[in-house]
Amino acid sequence: MHLSVPNDVLDAMADPTIAQVEKPEVRTRKAPAALAKAKRPLVIAGPAAMRQPPKAKFPVIGMESPRGLNDPSLGKLAEVLAKADVVLLVGKRIDFTLRFGKIFAKSCRVLRAYGDVELPEPTASQNAWLEEVRAALAYRPSAWNEIRDTPHPVAVCRAVQKLLDAPGAVFVSDGGEFGQWAQACLRAPRRVINGVAGSIGSALPFAAAAKVAFPNAPVVALLGDGTLGFHLSEIDTAVRHGLGYVAVIGNDATWNAEYQIQLRAYGSERAKGCELLPTRYGAVARALGAHGEDVERPGELQAALQRAVASGKPACVNVMIERLAAPKY
């Protein structure tokens, strides 16, 4: 048996009082009338409910990241959740990703639906609010537009996006800080991430499975160098089975998620035990029979990605990047 205790719990002072989340909850299979009558309604779905694109004009917010409200792919989600007056949960629990309900306003009515739900059309009075929600989810800092030809994760993702613009492309993301940059910056018709549990190391097996499921679609996985170490030998599996995905490794030579936690909590002088080597994982991939590239200068990345795709093999493009914390807005 193994019990893990979160770092914030270990560091916090104990309070013997257990807060109760008092939220009225209605279990229904139909969209409740309260949704149509609300001034600031929201629909939040869990991962299983997001397998098909929503048909309604209501913005359906899919939450599947272990970072919850800090999921950088959802922009300024926390701001709109705090303003909502009616929230419908579809296949979604009030758990740590929603701060156990504390993110909602005290007057907010929280409803729960099961199965397929037919959402109403937005009313004219709701349209301005829904546009505000869409803008909040789409928000990314304008300064990112100026990042070019540098080892910044944004520049890496901009080059990778060209591979994901193809019809039916599959984007796979895993890992800590670099994985969060990828999720914030990249779009694709299909996306697979490591889920609410936050497992690390699943990107290569996920990419292989995606290529089996969609053999004619481009499959691109982005992962950090720490993450790669968990299942690096899966490159050999992909070679043996002819699964031609492209894996892009953001290599900052560190366990960066843990490093950033230590920086925030203890300062740089006490950030210990997170260093890795700037290993040439492209060379490792070549040794396993895959196509491998090691990119040290930003201007080399686009050509390296093109060669990776043209090879028709499982490919690993290892890119040296800056050691940066995941984006927060």
Nearest Cα residue to 163 out of 317, 307, 313, 306: 306
Residue 122, CA distances (Å) to 74, 116, 191, 262 in order: 21, 18, 27, 45
Q: What is the mean pLDDT of residues 274-287?
A: 96
Length of the chain equals 329
Of 49-58, 120-129, 243-252, 313-322, where does mean pLDDT reach its minimum? 49-58
Is pLDDT above 90 for 170? yes
- The architecture of the domain spanning 142-320 is 3-Layer(aba) Sandwich (3.40)
Reported as a pLDDT band with limits 50, 70 and 90, residue 250 is very high
Using left for φ > 0, alpha for ψ between -120 and 50, and beta otherwise, residue 74 falls in alpha
Distance CA 256, CA 226 (A): 8
> What is d(CA 327, CA 184) in angstroms, rounded to the nearest whole number?
8
Q: What is the pLDDT of residue 180?
A: 94
Count of other CB atoms within 10 angstroms of residue 166: 14
- The percent of residues in the chain predicted with pLDDT above 70, rounded, is 92
Radius of gyration, alpha carbons of the chain: 21
pLDDT of residue 21: 45
Asked if 90 and 41 count as a contact pair (C-beta separation under 8 A), the reply is no
- The span from the CA of 224 to the CA of 244, in Å, is 20
Query: Is residue 261 classed as helix, strand or coil in its secondary structure?
Result: helix
Q: Taking the model in full, what pTM does it have?
A: 0.86
Residue intervals in the chain for CATH 3.40.50.970: 142-320
SS3 16: coil
Closest CA to 99 of 165, 169, 44: 44
pLDDT exceeds 80 at position 224:
yes
* Lowest mean per-residue pLDDT among 57-66, 130-139, 147-156, 245-254: 57-66
Alpha carbons 146 and 152: distance in angstroms, whole number = 11
Residue 208 CA to residue 189 CA, distance in Å, equals: 17
CATH architecture of 7-138: 3-Layer(aba) Sandwich (3.40)
Helix (H) or strand (E) holding 162: helix 153-164
Average pLDDT value for residue range 216-232 = 95
Q: What is the mean pLDDT of residues 68-97?
A: 92
